[in-house]
Structure 1
Amino acid sequence: MCRWLAYSGTSVVLSDLLYKPEHSLIDQSLHSRLGVETTNGDGFGVGWYGPGRDTPAVIRDTGPAWNNRNLRELADHVRSPLFFAHVRASTGTAIQQTNCHPFRRGRWMWMHNGAVADFHRLRRDLSLAVDPALFSALEGSTDSEVMFYLAITFGLDQDVPGAVARMAGLIERLGREHGVDHPLQMTVAVSDGEQLWAFRYSSMRASRSLFCSTGKATVRALQPDLNALTEVSDSTRMVVSEPLSGLPGEWYQVPESSYGVVRPGGADDAFLPFVPEPA
């Protein structure tokens, strides 16, 4: 499937976290330890929020992240307090830019690891549930992008957990109607540029791996020689598919069927139960 990283907190240079940790996301693109696939080379993407901008910048490419010179150049020079990064292993859809994460709509940014089981059977019904005013914005062919636009359709602007729960509820209902036993597998990150939400859920209650940093000490310990990382705030957090290091006690696994939110100036490490709702 895929590997991803979401960061929120003190502004940092992207390469400090994308490249320099022992088991960085770039390393995971070649040597994933907890993913379904060891190699995640079917494209990549990075999205970040810059100062004075209401919408995120997003770059995506179809090649592997580990040898992309443009990504390295950009990561060495872009600084952001909130960014997403994703390396892709396709679950069957085409390797093309419009299928790479993160996805963007206005101020919202979204990325996903997992799959809608038998998506080819559910795709038509799921796509027709997207708000007609949004339908033309669908660019790719992935389940992940359809999930994003369903969440927008179901009220992402007003209630993020509720919108994601209604999206999951629709997928599970349609899956059952089509005879799919376990329709949904997901770890999802979504942000509006101010807050970061993370979700871990699957229909079979055996979700893909997801971890959260325990506090600023985690970020500092990743690169103790980097002055930029010694000044991170208490509320700085990372949510990752795999820990970026083997430091004991610095990461904890996000509970099954749960979601959490990172807010500016006050990170809350409590994850709440996540239950799909009728759409």
Structure 2
Amino acid sequence: MCRWAAWQGAPLFLSEIISAPDHSLIRQSRDATECKTAINADGFGLAWYDRRPEPGLYRDVYPAWSDPNLRSLAEQVQARLFLAHVRASTGTATSRNNCHPFVQGRWSFMHNGQVGGFERFRKSADMMIADALYPHRKGATDSEALFLVACGLGIDTDPQGAMARSVARFEALSRAQGTGPHMRMAAALSDGHTLYALRYASDDLAPSLFYRWCADWQGWAVVSEPYDLDQTGWTEVPQGSFCRFTPDGCEITGFAPETMARAA
């Protein structure tokens, strides 16, 4: 399983979360504690927002701990909102196109989890991507496909509803053609203004997700697992939740894809 971290708030050097803390994201890439796989060495990626509406994007296939360019970039780039991800593949190749975050227009997305048996119905899943968006399908992961389907289901005006409809469709495909566990996910996405996060599973084993208001940095940190070893001040996101983080606060509501998709 992957590890990721996101920030929404006052401009912050990426290194403050990615490399500086005692249990930073780079440390988690080789010594994660909140998931079955301690090693997350199948690539990494960053998406960050500054003065342009579209995010900057940097991804590579090396383990995060072994790339000096990542540390140098993190020390120099300051952003008010960013997403960072270290990958542990659930079956697809280690390639730059399969590394998170994924970007479409002003939207960025990253995911930890799996859609059970995706390789059995990948063609069916890809067919759900809107024609106008399909040229942006560069890799082979379930995460990218899930994101692009959501982009075609109204993510610009209703991020929660779009994600719910996309997740419901993928879970239905997994139940019909795939294997269990049908859906497990902890994901983050952003349009450059609001940071969204969700935690959901078709069973009772959703991947971990935590958040904290950082008074010293004036912003929200949202993570797969805390980046400090004492874990003081972190709140675990309940399973079946959708979160909105803005400079003004945090809102958490329920996330039930099948129910929300039927109501749409």
- TM tier, shorter chain? over 0.9
Deviation at 1:36, TM superposition (A): 2.2
Q: Report 1:169-188 matches (<5 A).
A: 169-178=168-177, 180-188=179-187
2:144 partner amino acid: E
How far the C-alpha of 1:120 sits from its partner, in A, is: 0.8
Task: Note if 1:271 corresponds to 2:252.
Answer: yes
Aligned-CA RMSD value:
1.3
The Cα shift of 1:179 comes to 5.7
Counterpart of 1:42? 42
Tell me, which stretches of 5 or more residues in structure 1 are unaligned?
A: 221-231
2:79 aligned with 1:98, yes or no? no
Task: Map 1:219-238 to 2 at 5 A.
Answer: 220=216, 232-233=217-218, 236-238=219-221
Mapped partners of 1:105, 1:164: distance in 2? 14
Matches for 1:205-224 after TM superposition, within 5 Å: 205-213=204-212, 215-217=213-215, 220=216
How far off is 1:248 after superposition? Answer: 5.2
**Which deviations, in whole Å up to 9, do the C-alpha atoms of 1:52-109 show, x marking residues without a partner?**
x010000000000102111111111111010010000000100000000000011000
The change in CA–CA distance for 1:27 and 1:256 in structure 2 (over 3 A counts) is same
After TM superposition, where is structure 1 displaced by more than 4 Å over at least 4 residues in a row?
A: none
Q: 2: CA distance between counterparts of 1:132 and 1:248?
A: 45
Instruction: Please identify which structure carries the higher strand content.
Output: 2
CA contact (8 A) 1:199 1:258 kept: yes
Which residue number corresponds to residue 24 of structure 1?
24
* Mapped contact 1:205–1:257 kept (Cα < 8 A): no
Q: TM-score, normalised by structure 2?
A: 0.95
* Distance in 1 (alpha carbons) for counterparts of 2:189 and 2:70: 22
Q: Once the 2 structures are TM-superposed, how far is the Cα of residue 208 of structure 1 from its aligned partner? A: 0.6
TM-score w.r.t. structure 1 length? Answer: 0.90
Match of 2:233 among 247, 250, 257: 250
> Which amino acid is the alignment partner of residue 5 of structure 2?
L
CA distance in 2, matches of 1:181, 1:63: 30
Aligned residue runs from structure 1 range 3-22, under 5 A: 3-22=3-22
C-alpha contact 1:255 1:271 (8 A) present in aligned 2 = no
SS class of match (1:7): strand
How far, CA to CA, are the matches of 2:84 and 2:178 in structure 1? Answer: 34
Structure 1 position 180, deviation (Å): 3.4
Q: Which residue of 2 aligns with 1:224?
A: none
| Alpha carbons 2:117, 2:180 under 8 Å: kept | no
The DSSP-based 3-state class of the residue aligned with 1:20 is coil
1:249 & 1:86 partners in 2: Cα distance?
22
